[in-house]
Amino acid sequence: MSTLTLDGVRAGYGRGPDILNGISMTVESGTTCCVIGPNGAGKSTILKVVAGLVRPREGTITLDGERVDGRRPDQMIGTGICLVPQDRSLFPEMTVAENLRMAGYLITDKHRLETRLDAVYDRFPLLRERAHQRARTLSGGQQQLVALSRALILEPRILLVDEPSLGLAPLVADQIFDTLRQFNELGMTILLVEQNARKGLETADVGFVVDLGREKFQGPADTILEHPEIRELYLGRRGRRPKQGIAP
Amino acid sequence: MTDIVQLLILGILLGGVYGVMATGLTLVYGVMGVVNLAHAVVMVAAAYMAFFMWQDWGVDPFVSMIATIPVFFAVGMGLYYVFFQRIAGSARFGEMTVLLSFGLALVIEGVLGFAFTGIYHTANPGYATKTFDIGSVIVPKGQLYAFVASVVLLAALGAILYFTRVGYAIRATMQNATAAQIVGVNVNRVSAVAFGIGTAMAGAAGSLMSYLFTFFPGAHWQFIALLLALTVVGGLGSLRGALVGAIGLSVAAAFVTDLAGPNWSYLTFYLALFVVLLVRPQGLFGRKVSV
Amino acid sequence: MTATAAMVERMEPARGSSEPAPLLQVEGLTKAFGGLHAVEDCTFEVAPGSITSLVGPNGAGKTTVFNLVSGLLAPSSGSVRFEGREVSGLAPHKIVRSGVGRTFQITRELGELTVLENVIVNAPTHGLRAMLRGSVLHHERDRALELLDLVGLTRVAHDLAKSLSYGQRKLLELAAVLMADPRLVMLDEPAGGVNPRLIEDLMDLVGNLNRQGVTFLVVEHNMDVVMDMSDSIVVMAHGQVVIQGTPEQVQTNDEVLDAYLGRS
């Protein structure tokens, strides 16, 4: 079971202002949830806080009832949380194979690591072909694939994906989302943040709408965009204050 | 003709030793962004240690490495945990490491001066003054042995970095610290180990220095200046760069010395530094943008 | 007379005509970084005396357009005309002297100056040089104090800028840009990271200044704020302009909503 719960989380960067303003949300085990919302809503920050890269100033984060907030990022793997950051975050000078092996840094059982590596190469023959190519020479889509494959090797309980389609051509992005669907079918709970709301929701079961660091509402992914508040959320309140301007 | 070969050999031999000194410095920068101005004074401290082992117990400088390497590895990790870890998250980390290490260098130099006075020392094992004569080329024995030792040390460093788990973790942290954390690397502990390895190399270099150079507490200043020039030219954070910089500039300096006299040899390093900073500030192999 | 009254004076002739010439006209503006077109064939205008907002999802190119107009970037092609004169490609300080000001974050260095000094530094008659010489002119100092009074920072005029809260800094940035007496003020995300009450204060301030004749071009993400204060909104996506229109037009336009929700 891997139900993730955020409760009243307040967080910001360094000594800057709060980006998350007491957000609460629950990601049910086995589902794919897509977080959408206007710019500056704090979507990426949610993932960073869960992954331990940003410390919450208030509130708790629990995975199946166990507190996971306040830990170092490298301790998060032990709790079963794996992040795929916006910039893929690969090791540029290492080859594809080395990048994947690094994902298995904490796996002490060599046999288990080899089995998982084989599974990755079976699923993505493209990676086997480019196993000895340096990561920085890969295309955006290929890098994203390597970043996602790291997840396969770690077999996390919950996968956090930050803007998977960023910088990718639409067709390539489709392949990435397809991959996420496959991961979900394997039993991984997925929490993703996507600027392109429509695309992100296509892959999800549930949509979470976030604005100004708080949850607004949630609903089934296929119908949430029809929610009457969506237009106001993205395009502002109706009924402006009358403004006395200079007559044109 | 012979002259050129002679100069080349002298440059390369010395360059190898500088290479060992420089890789330690650049490794520490690459892993955690620390500019360690105390690197050279650690070398001098190790030279003192090797010297007294030779003078009092008759231990050959090369054999002394068995002591200097582990001792200074421990010293390095200690320095990291006590001093550098404290400022790890701060906004002006880069500048602070410069000031911190500068202060450390002064303190260590002071302690050395207090303990051993300012008398010049140099170890004098037999080979320090002998040479191999190959045709018309003179190859100083001491420097040749030092070069061989340097090659072995650098190979060992390479082996650690490329064939051990810790080495992978260090390289991963150098390339992308955030990604390293995501895959479970304890970046803090890895930084401490990397710092330790850096000072261990300084320790090894110190053993070599004990007979190659005449040293005294304040000798580290000319070395740190040289090493900074080398590493910047090669590219701060690039191990390959440190080696290329060390050997390339040493050879160049050898030629300059031959043409214009020993006073000008240092000029070569600083001139190269100047040019690199103007033309290509990230150095020969420095990184610009990562994946 | 005060600077703002002088500005109103200048505005008078335009009011008579049926449709005044745009204060700022951007046409076919394109900026390419290598093969990437950050801004492509961008065309819009800012009417004198209006508050025009530039909006769009992340990566739409708004900040690039902003930087192109204020001179921090030179365009690959296209034109930017201010009061009829071509200003594209000019150095930033020349653009400021032409009458276009933009807000800038208080940097670490500026934080070491007092609040008052931060405003004086922007005086059109080489405020910085005068300050360093120690011979700030009386009327410049008076003007600076007047502006601080306008934004409500008189109390902290002699405090170091770095001691200000985030919201106070935004007010200071506004006062600073007004010091150069611009006819067009460009605001870079004025409501970003600021608490709701201060947003109200900031918007009231902008409204007041606008009523006195200052034209604004604003990049902003907070759509409630944008809809409340704008006369005209330019929506951008993927480096191109989707539409320029009134708030009502933009809010009811499906293409605009699509731009924000993404293509499936």
Whether C239 contacts chain A with CB within 8 A: no
Yes or no: say if B25 and B199 are a contact pair by the CB < 8 Å rule: no
Question: Which residues does C199 contact at the CB level (< 8 Å), separation at least 6?
Answer: C191, C222, C225
Measured CA to CA in angstroms, residue B66 lies from B53, B56, B203 at distances of 11, 17, 10
3-state helix, strand, coil in chain A (%, to 5): 35, 25, 40
Residues of A with CB under 8 A from a CB of B: 14, 51, 53, 72-74, 77-78, 82-83, 85, 87-94, 98, 101-103, 105-106, 135-136, 138, 143, 150, 154
What is the per-residue pLDDT for B109? Answer: 95
State mean pLDDT over B163-175: 92
B54-110 tens-digit pLDDT:
999 988 999 999 999 999 999 999 999 999 988 887 777 888 899 999 999 999 999
Q: Provide the mean pLDDT of chain C.
A: 85
What is the per-residue pLDDT for B89? Answer: 72
Q: Which amino acid is at B73?
A: F
What is the per-residue pLDDT for C131? Answer: 63
Residue A102 to residue B186, Cβ atoms within 8 A:
no
User: From the first residue on, what is the mean pLDDT of each consecutive set of 10 residues in chain C (264 residues)?
Assistant: 46 51 92 87 94 90 91 92 90 86 80 88 69 71 90 91 87 90 91 83 90 92 90 93 93 90 81
What is the per-residue pLDDT for A244? Answer: 47
Residue A105 to residue B171, Cβ atoms within 8 A:
no
Residue A85 to residue B182, Cβ atoms within 8 A:
yes
Residue A245 to residue C51, Cβ atoms within 8 A:
yes
| Lowest-pLDDT range of A29-43, B124-138, C33-47 | B124-138
- Pick C166's closest partner by Cβ from A17, A199, A235: A17
The minimum CA-CA distance between A119 and chain C, rounded to whole Å, is 30
Q: How sure is the predictor about B264, in pLDDT bands with cuts at 50, 70 and 90?
A: confident
Residue C260 to residue A235, Cβ atoms within 8 A:
yes
Instruction: Report DSSP state, residue C111.
Output: G
Q: What are phi and psi of A207, to 5 degrees?
A: -115, 135
Report domain extents, chain B: 2-218
Chains adjacent to C (≥3 CB pairs closer than 8 angstroms) = A
Indicate the pTM of the whole model. 0.78
Whether C111 contacts chain A with CB within 8 A: no
Q: How many CB atoms lie within 10 A of CB A70?
A: 11
- Sign of the Cα torsion C148, C150, C154, C156 reads negative
Yes or no: say if B246 and B16 are a contact pair by the CB < 8 Å rule: yes
Percent above pLDDT 70 for chain A: 96
Which residue spans within B3-160 are E strands per DSSP?
131-134, 137-140
What is the per-residue pLDDT for C129? Answer: 65
Domains and CATH numbers, chain C: 23-99+182-264 (3.40.50.300), 106-181 (no CATH)
Q: What are phi and psi of B119, to 5 degrees?
A: -60, 140
- If you compute the radius of gyration of chain A from its CA atoms, what whole number of angstroms results? 19
Domains and CATH numbers, chain A: 1-80+157-235 (3.40.50.300), 89-155 (no CATH)
Q: Which H helix or E strand runs over C53?
A: strand C51-55
Strand partners, A161: A84, A192
Residue A105 to residue B179, Cβ atoms within 8 A:
no
Q: How many CB atoms lie within 10 A of CB A14?
A: 7
Chains adjacent to A (≥3 CB pairs closer than 8 angstroms) = B, C
Comparing alpha-carbon positions, the chain C residue that sits nearest to A20 is: C193
Residue B184 to residue A105, Cβ atoms within 8 A:
yes
3-class secondary structure, A189 = strand
Flag whether pLDDT at B243 surpasses 60.
yes
Q: Provide long-range contacts, Cβ within 8 A and 24+ apart, for A113-118.
A: A113/A153, A116/A152, A116/A153, A116/A155, A117/A153
Residue B183 to residue A136, Cβ atoms within 8 A:
no
